[in-house]
Structure 1
Amino acid sequence: MSGHCPLRKTAAFTLIELLVSVAVLSVLMMVLSQVLSDTQATWGRAKARTEEFREARAAFEAIAARLSQATLNSYWGYKLDANGNPLIYQRQSELHYVNGPVTTLLGSAVPAAGHAVFFQAPLGENLDPGSPNPASTEPYGLESMINAWGWYVTYDSDLPRRPAFLGDTPAHPERKRFRLMEFRQPTEKLSLYRLVTPPNGDATSTKIPWLEAQNSQNGLYDWFRSDLAADSQPVAENILAIFVQPVWPMPGKDTGADTSAAPNYLYDTRRHQWPDTTTMAERSRHQLPPMIRLTLVALDERDWSKLDSTATDALATQLRTLANTKVFITAAEYENDVKKLESELVNLNLGFRVFSTAVQIPAAKLMSSREN
């Protein structure tokens, strides 16, 4: 009798189970695909945002570094009367530091926004650096020569700075933007040291430095106003404004800042020549501020690239009005104005980033500006 093996049942998925598995797998793939897509989009936006503000961050760091090198080369000497007799022993300087609203420093002819700052520092900028060749007659080794420097923000077109072959074409349309401008005056062009006849003198009078001869606020600012366009160049686009606040440490306190030397942000080491006899003029006389609160506001290029020329001009006018007349008018409201500016930009649906820091100026040596 031959043996007979019964048939075994083979384990397998039913059609319904396969359909359910495929459905579940499809849902999981859709979820994973969406997560991957969102992650990629977020990473792309973060990378684009980092790239977008890289130029602004580099410019901000450069301002802070160079501003910390500001100097007046101040010294102590006698102030003489008309007969050459000494009157008082006081701090003196042949240099000049000034910061304040652009409407005051540059006037209304320049379409600028926010604040500006101008000063001298040993930055070694000259027209021709020359070479180490001993036979050369060109300048060399002048890395510590004094230069005039400064920053301000203006709204303008890029067409005047383009090469002649890059006109306003569909392939290269005009770009109207807010731009951070850097004023760089080489040593050979410094106008502060030139000698002139005193305001009330005649041809036989002993000549004095040009800066000492100025007796008006506008006259004092001529050293950067007269060559502003020729000695300025853009260093970053989409910078709405910079804001500069001189501060003093609070006596006997670990925190806090005294802003009474520039309650309206205008600080001029030659304010006494306007002439001005207030305590602010006496306090700032040839005296650098020991610390600067520096704030830079950068805008997102993507919001500007979507606008045509007319819309760009209209928005720029609105932003200039905001930066020049609605915020950073009173120094005591500095923190509140930062928040107000951020709120206004959010309401305008503009992307932005605010950079802030405190810059110490080692050359500022706090002491009395005069002694009897």
Structure 2
Amino acid sequence: MASGPDSSDFFDLLPDPILLLILNRVSDIKTLLRCRSVSRRFNSAVPQADSLLLRVDRVISSSDDDDGVSFFSALFKSLLTSLHHLVSPPPTGKQPPENPTSAAPPPPNSPSQILRSFDAIASLRIELPSGDLRLEKGTSIKWVARFGKTLRSCVILAFKNGGDSTAADSGGGLKMRVVWTISALIAASARHFMISEVVREQHSLSRLVVYDRDNEGTVIMDKDGLTESRDSGGDVAAEETNAGGMWWRNNRTTVPAVGMRMRHEARMELSGGMVLEGATLVVVRPVGGGGEDDDEWLVEEAFGKEGVWAEAVQRLIKSRSYILEMNSF
């Protein structure tokens, strides 16, 4: 910046569209909020940024309970509860949980509260600090789910690391692969519920992606899905859990009745030398939401055409498939 009595702030020479382009390239919300203190012009321009990245550093407050219960452990308890209800339906006459839409508003550090500082968000990415699930040692899951008011599709790749001494079997059989699938669906539906208030409030939003730094799972909502979700109000299921002061309750969007097309190879060695034990590819859709002919483009859309995971799913998609159906949960 120039100095002297006739000096001016060079940013003042930039037209507003160029300044907004720079702010959109910055995208990180924490940085943008700091920029508001630079000048009056920045303070008025920052809320107009339309391409944002919100990095969530923690999902529980500083007042963690003594047991150190995290959102992720609470979510895993939710998984076990849901599995129990799937195999042991509640007795006749038991009332369903109350709809939590009347719950108290989230505290100020929730995504919806933070994003209220912005007026014209079109594209939003939310980065979570880690993956949601902690399954048995040596197991990895990669999933991509697309949502409207509820689940539209989910592509899941699960396997055991062949380099791990605990991965001596071929993935634990059908029962274990079903557990992998259900765990991914519950994780996806919990993330979808987490962003439901953001979807309702940000009317200019046309694309929303929620992912994690571990590259475990991704939730995607496009323009049509966002519109459908706002119009419907969503469908949620309550899972009350004490999770040490987390800023969103352990609720999730109801997973509809789904058809699952599963493909499996006991052992797969990829071109880079990586070995996958019990490699499993599952394509999940609501019942009546498409057939086997649609699987290939859903898989490509989820994992792309290049990279280690793309290679794995492209090989698995050619394997024999097995069809399973699951009721809403």
Indicate whether the TM-score tops 0.5: no
TM-score normalised over the length of structure 2: 0.26
With normalisation by structure 1, the TM-score equals 0.24
Query: Which one has a bigger Cα radius of gyration?
Result: 1
